[in-house]
A and B are shown apart, each in its own frame.
Chain A
Amino acid sequence: MSACDLGSTLRPPRRRNVFFGTTLLGLALGLWGTMQPASLLYAQSAAPPSAPVAPVTSSSPALRVQGPLSPRNASYRLSASLDPATHTVKGKGTLVWRNLERQPVDHMVLHLYQNGFKNFASTYVREAGAQLRGTKMPKGGFGAIDVTALRSGSHDLLASSTVVDSLMAVPLPNPVGPSATIELTFEWTVRLPHAFARSGWAQDFHAVSQWFPKIGVWDCGTSGSDCKWRAHQYHGFTEFFADYGVYDVEMSVPTGQVLGATGVKVGERIEGDRTIYRYLAEDVHDFAWFTDPKFVEVKDRIDDEFGGVEVRLLTRAGDQDNTPRNLAGLRAGLLEAERRFGVYPYRNVTVVIPPRDGSGAGGMEYPTIITGIGAPLPSGLHFSENTVAHEFGHQYFYHLLGSDEVEEAWLDEGLNQTFTSWAMERLYPTGCTFARLPYLCLADADTDWLAYRSVARRAALSTPSYKLPRGSYGAVTYSQTAITMRTLERYLGADRMMTAMRRYTDRNRFRHPRKADFVSAMSDGAGEDLSWYFDQTLNTTRVADFEISSATTEEHEPAAGLWDCPPQPLPRSKLLPRTESGPQLEELDALWTESVAAACENKQSGRTELQTSATEESGKKAKSSAKDKKAKAGDSDETFDSEVVVRRRGELLFPVTIKATFADGSTVLKNWTLAEQQAEPENRYKVLRFLRRPARLERAEVDPGHQLLLDEKRLNNGLLVSADPRPVRRLWLSWEGALQTLLDWVAF
């Protein structure tokens, strides 16, 4: 039935409504379409929707689900040969790159990451200081990459290219138009550094990562016209960003080397004294490989609802004791990630445990291959499991969600740190997920909170990594983000948080999401506009700190002073509005009524003075205190007035609950709402009164449910009305006991 047919069957007013409705719908769809980033449109045209719930059986050796999953606009065919004696890799290959944007591009930018280790004048070394995470570059441990040939068809591009530090600008003979493709062939040599910052060598071990000229990301932004290569220098505390593609890589190594790489092995042949491995990886944006003749291989399998994932763990013999822990971390990571974020689409995952003198290569992620740590740790310190779970989590946050690790590191490291705490809670459901040692129990959320406290107010989360203050990258990017997300989880509830995160991951698989994508997906998924939260936590350095400033309680008495008898009705005037309202006004009226009745009891007409303990002399006050004791013991019908003052010391606005607990065990919960705080952001105090209650106030707590993990100081969240010396006594005498033990040892 055509639209006209549809219209003719309806009465004229409805016909008009249908017309308008259809037009509006069409306009809305068109508007939506134009607002989407160009890359998204092109991606949609190039690839089917991602994150299938029930995957179709895949014939690909590398994928468990039917591909292609990504735009595949940066695909490589590489061939490399490692010389372990000189720690160099010679390579040649081709790159097929497709322009996803609507604007043509007349030059390309390639990353030459290894030049970050070329000399001390590099951006990396100047910013990080020839070290990473405390592992220093050994003497002579430099690295470099040299492109020795670069062609596009018959055009030699090398001569006109310029290398500045770790970036290479390549002018093109002809622009590459929208959706057009260019193929580059190139040759290069990499001298690997001594492993201290992710890649490099340590004796026989080689971590070959960021080892080939890698193309940047051509991006025209949401407007489609603000075009540039999103390719930054290799900064001291930043990682990597690239487009997706297919990697078909041959690696030649001396026979006897045990090799692990991104993707799956699809070929192996021996030529002389060398073995050539061929690996295929689909829908990935990086490729790394590791070799060591001393590696021991451990195979495992993780069964899930999507057919299972093959696991290969490469480790040296001395670290094999840690293998069960590493595999446990991997299992927890994979299963928890799939539960929250959907299918891990690859057939396999490889875990590499670098030798201890190559620990600089540990704790790192690459598509389908991750590195753990080989340190001998007690079983109560869960760092091995934590590292593997964390690095696996990066398969989602950084890989499937291909955010820019340079400009928005919090989107991968921070979200992944949040995920890591969830994975560890799966592994250790009874708590103490980070450390369970004698006299010490710490959860991952605890360590994140402590790290966050150390950098609170230093930088906003959305600060690009290379602009973060020195020494704050880890705490800001990882921990501050994680605490921000865990607070949000407590605010929303676990289910809503999971739904919101799933919305984000489903929408942005194999894309390059940015902050706006994250915020909108989270709000949509949570069913609530969360901009009030993210505007503060992502874009500002606001810190949360609520405290109970004071908590007092006293026996209720009528109001002392001068009263006119006999009692008159309560004065009211429309010309004189009251500042109090609601329950507060009711309480004030009740006080007035009670006080005038007490003052006028058995009194003549006229003005009379009412005395209470507030105005009585000290002798009479002693009688009052006797009454207090009776009241405390619950022997009297006295009532009590209590007051709690809550102070917002921090700048972050967040709805909080205040809990008042009374001596008879009763509790009252009151809220300081977000709306109240937003209405008067400079009003830092909220006063709560509890009048005529049958028992004294014992304690007051703000955020008793520990929702606001971002609260910088938790000790000031509660206040007792009367001091309780027992806990301090216990701590003091415990310390005293330890000292005595020392003294006794010294004496004899």
Chain B
Amino acid sequence: MSAQTTEPAVSAATEDLPNGVLGQAGELDLAQGEDAAAEPSVSLRPSAAPAEDGAVWPRGPVPGGLQALWTGARRVLGRPRLLLAMWLMSLTFGLLASFPVKNGLSGLLDLRPAATLIARGQADVLLIELLSDNRSLISMAVAAALATTLLYFLMQLGLSGGLLATLRHPRHPQRVTGSQILATAAQTAGAMFKLELVFALVARLPLLLVTGGALMLLNREKTLNLLSLEQIVLRNLPVIGLFAVLWAMLSVTLNHARLTRISALHQSTALRSTWASLKFAFSRSALGSVAMLGLLSVGLWLLLVVVGRVIAARLDYRLAVAAAFGVRQLFALLRVWLGLSLVAAAAELHDGVTSDAAVKSPAQTH
């Protein structure tokens, strides 16, 4: 393997990154310790260094948001097993979380003719009777939902490093394949947890506080006393909409921070990665793309949720349980695809636009 390297096409964005994160020569092996030399470790090298086959990864310009999402979506479609696995995980956790509710309801409704009316949504008052007479069902459902959500969140957090690594450009030197996802995830899990915490404190919490403060200011009692419902909604909707988009942008930025962290696992810190990514996200070259991704993510997500529920509700009315379930899972699959596409899009933003031609073999670089 040639030791020569070509100078990477470093984008302006990466030049802004602090030293020690990128741009350093030499390999950084994650698999440290006694077995480092023995086992074929996943090597998360700086992108300036050549890949194992000698190919070079020049970082290109930051792609547009739509382009990044489109590329990401195609990349995910090219990984059907990953997509299906993520969807199955979501389904499994959903079923596990909802099973206590099923068991509780069976005992109460399986022998009741009125259950059909409740299921069709034709007897809301009976549903209220059921819930008010069986409040333990509500607490059980909520407890199961919360516990499962937390577990799921932590699990996804742990997997995030592996997911990001596998959704990079197919020829990216730090990309991992299916069998290596879990290993990469395990190696990076600790870092991801710390990063999540730091990011929440540095970015998400301030956004929540600012939005909360803005809503409180807009909805002071004196003001509310003078406004009609329409006016109140029109005042608050932009704030809530902006919050949703900013939150989605932060999610994109978080994935960027994760990649930054992974790329320099032992040289960077969670705080530095967070700061670097926030600077990147709000830099002139990237802000438009990140904002577009945020908008697309909110819009598409809402569309999938609303359309999915409307179609499923109509099937529910007819008690076409299997069909409604099928529709729900189809839309769940679409949501997972969207989510993974956004992760891949974040990887695109991090790595920059790269064409295959730019990824030259060592022979071509001479």
Report the minimal beta-carbon distance from A434 to chain B, rounded to whole angstroms: 10
Min Cβ gap B202→A in Å is 20
Q: Which of B90, B108, B225 contacts A743 (CB 8 A)?
A: B90
**Is B336's beta carbon under 8 Å from chain A?**
yes
Residues of chain B within 8 A (CB-CB) of A153 are: none
Complex: how many Å from CA A440 to CA B108?
21
Q: How far is the CA of A439 from the CA of B122 in the complex (A)?
A: 10
For B149, list chain A residues within 8 Å (CB): 739, 742-743, 746
Flag if A355 contacts B225 (CB, 8 Å): yes
- For A450, the closest partner residue in chain B by CB is B128
Check A743 against B228 for contact (C-beta < 8 Å): no
A718 neighbours in B (Cβ, 8 Å): 112-114
Q: How many A residues face the partner with a CB closer than 8 A?
A: 57
> C-beta contact mask, A317-345 vs B, less than 8 Å → 1, else 0?
11111100000000000000000000000
Instruction: Scan B107-119; emit 1 where CB is below 8 A from any A CB, else 0.
Output: 0111111111011
Known: A442-B125, A728-B110, A733-B328. A356 touches B224 (CB 8 A): yes
Interface pair B148/A743, CB less than 8 Å apart: yes
Q: Are A748 and B339 also in contact (CB < 8 A) when A453-B129, A726-B119 are?
A: yes
* Complex-state Cα separation, A40 to B309, whole angstroms: 63
Taking CB atoms, residues of chain B closer than 8 Å to A449 are 125
Query: What separation, in Å, do the CA atoms of A649 and B305 have in the docked complex?
Result: 45
Number of interface residues of B (CB under 8 A): 69
1/0 contact trace for B220-264 toward A, CB 8 Å?
A: 010011111111100000000000000000010000000000000
Task: Tell me whether A742 and B145 are in contact in the complex, defined as CB-CB below 8 angstroms, given that A714-B114, A728-B105, A733-B324 are known contacts.
Answer: yes
Contact check, B328 vs A737: say whether CB atoms are below 8 A apart. yes
Contact B325 A733 (CB under 8 A): yes
Residues of A within 8 A of B132 (CB): 450, 453
Which chain B residues lie closer than 8 Å to A736 at the CB level?
Answer: 94-95, 97-98, 328
Q: Residues of B contacting A377 with CB < 8 Å?
A: 229
A609 to chain B, nearest CB (A): 37
CB contact under 8 A between A724 and B116, given known A439-B121, A743-B90, A747-B90:
yes
Choose one: A356, A701, A725, A737; the contact of B332 (CB below 8 Å): A737
Contact of A727 among B115, B325, B338 (CB under 8 A): B115
Given A720-B111, A743-B93, A743-B149, A376 and B228 contact (CB-CB distance below 8 Å): yes
- Asked if A614 is at the interface (CB within 8 A of a chain B CB), the reply is no
Cross-chain contact A727 with B124 (CB below 8 angstroms)? no
Neighbour of A746 across the interface among B112, B118, B153, B224, CB < 8 A: B153
A741 interface residue, CB < 8 Å from B? yes
* B319 adjacent to chain A (CB < 8 Å): yes
* Residues of chain A with a CB closer than 8 A to B97's CB: 736, 739, 743
Rounded to whole angstroms, the CA-CA distance of A736 and B148 in the bound complex is 12
* CB contact between B227 and one of A376, A716, A729, A745 (< 8 Å): that residue: A376
Total CB contacts across the A-B interface at under 8 A: 182
Main SS class of interface, B: helix
The answer to whether B229 touches A321, judged by C-beta atoms less than 8 angstroms apart, is yes
Closest to B221 in A: A357
Known contacts A699-B113, A733-B328, A744-B336; is A376 also within 8 Å of B105 by CB?
no
- State whether the Cβ of A626 lies closer than 8 Å to any Cβ in chain B: no
Query: In A700-748, which residues have CB < 8 Å from any B CB?
Result: 701, 713-720, 723-737, 739-748
Tell me whether B343 is interfacial, beta carbon within 8 Å. Answer: yes
A715–B126 CB distance below 8 A: yes
- Residue A441 lies at the interface, judged by CB distance under 8 Å to chain B: yes
- A745 to B221: give the CA distance in the assembly, Å: 33
Q: Give the distance to chain B from A372, nearest Cβ to Cβ, in Å.
A: 15
Whether the Cβ atoms of B115 and A724 lie closer than 8 Å is yes
Residue from B95, B124, B129, B343 in contact with A748 in the complex, judged by beta carbons closer than 8 Å: B343
| B153: contacting residue among A316, A733, A747, CB under 8 A | A747
Task: Report whether A730 and B324 are in contact in the complex, using a CB–CB cutoff of 8 Å.
Answer: yes
CA distance A442 to B126 in the complex (A): 10
B101 close to A732 (CB less than 8 A): yes
Q: Is the CB of B226 within 8 A of A318?
A: yes
Residue of A nearest to B226 (CB): A318
Q: Does A378 contact B (CB under 8 A)?
A: yes
B339 and A318 form a contact (CB under 8 A): no
Name which residue of chain A comes closest to B342, CB basis.
A748
Contact A723 B110 (CB under 8 A): yes
Say yes or no for A446: interface residue by CB 8 A criterion. yes
Known A-B contacts A729-B321, A740-B90, A744-B335; A735 and B98 likewise in contact (beta carbons under 8 Å):
yes
B282 on the interface (CB 8 Å rule)? Answer: no
Docked pose: A737 CA to B310 CA in angstroms: 12
**Cβ of B316 under 8 Å from chain A:** yes
B210 located at the interface, meaning its Cβ lies under 8 Å from any Cβ of chain A in the complex: no
Q: Are B227 and A727 in contact (CB under 8 A)?
A: no
B152 part of interface (Cβ distance < 8 Å): yes
The interface centre, meaning the residue of B226, B305, B340 with most chain A CB atoms within 10 A of its CB, is B226
Judge whether B319 and A727 touch: CB under 8 Å. Answer: yes
> Chain A residues near B115 (CB, 8 Å)?
724, 727-728
Does B51 make an interface contact (CB < 8 A)? no
Find chain B residues with CB under 8 A from A317 CB: 226
Are A727 and B94 closer than 8 Å at their CB atoms? Answer: no
Say if the beta carbon of B156 comes within 8 Å of chain A.
yes
Residue B83 interfacial (CB < 8 Å): no
Q: Which residues on B sit within 8 Å (CB–CB) of A726?
A: 116, 119, 319, 321
- Interface contact B312-A737, CB-CB below 8 Å: yes
CB contact under 8 A between A746 and B156, given known A442-B125, A734-B312? yes
Which of B264-319 touch A at CB < 8 Å?
A: 301, 305, 308-309, 312, 316, 319
**Which B residue sits closest to A720, measured CB to CB?**
B111
**One of B109, B113, B130, B324 near A701 (C-beta < 8 A):** B113
- Verify B109–A376 contact, CB threshold 8 A: no
Q: Name the distance in Å between A54's Cβ and chain B's nearest Cβ.
A: 42
Q: A743 to B230, Cβ gap below 8 A?
A: no
B17 at the interface (CB under 8 A from A): no
Residues of B within 8 A of A443 (CB): 125
Residues in B whose Cβ lies below 8 Å from that of A725: 106, 110
**Which one of B129, B336, B342 has the highest number of Cβ atoms from chain A below 10 Å of its Cβ?**
B129
Docked complex Cα distance between A740 and B148 (Å): 10
In the complex, which of the residues A322, A357, A439 contacts B225, with contact meaning CB atoms closer than 8 Å? A357
Asked whether B91 is an interface residue with its Cβ less than 8 Å from the other chain, the reply is yes
Please name all residues of chain A whose beta carbon is closer than 8 Å to the beta carbon of B102 when the two chains form the complex.
728-729, 732
Q: Are A743 and B343 neighbours in the complex by a CB distance under 8 Å?
A: no
Q: Does B133 contact A (CB under 8 A)?
A: yes
- Do B114 and A715 touch (CB < 8 A)? yes
**A-B pairs with the 4 shortest C-beta distances?**
A748-B339, A376-B229, A727-B119, A727-B115
Spell out B's residues near A (CB within 8 Å).
Answer: 86, 90-91, 93-95, 97-98, 101-102, 105-106, 108-116, 118-119, 121, 124-126, 128-130, 132-133, 141, 145, 148-149, 152-153, 156, 221, 224-232, 251, 301, 305, 308-309, 312, 316, 319, 321, 324-325, 328, 332, 335-336, 338-340, 342-343
12 A-B pairs (CB sep. < 8 Å): A318-B225, A442-B124, A714-B126, A715-B108, A717-B114, A719-B112, A720-B113, A737-B308, A737-B309, A737-B328, A746-B149, A746-B156
Since A734-B316, A737-B308, A743-B90 are in contact, a sample of 14 more A-B pairs with Cβ atoms closer than 8 Å, ordered by chain A residue number, is A356-B224, A376-B232, A443-B125, A727-B119, A728-B115, A733-B321, A733-B324, A739-B94, A739-B145, A739-B149, A740-B94, A742-B145, A746-B152, A748-B340
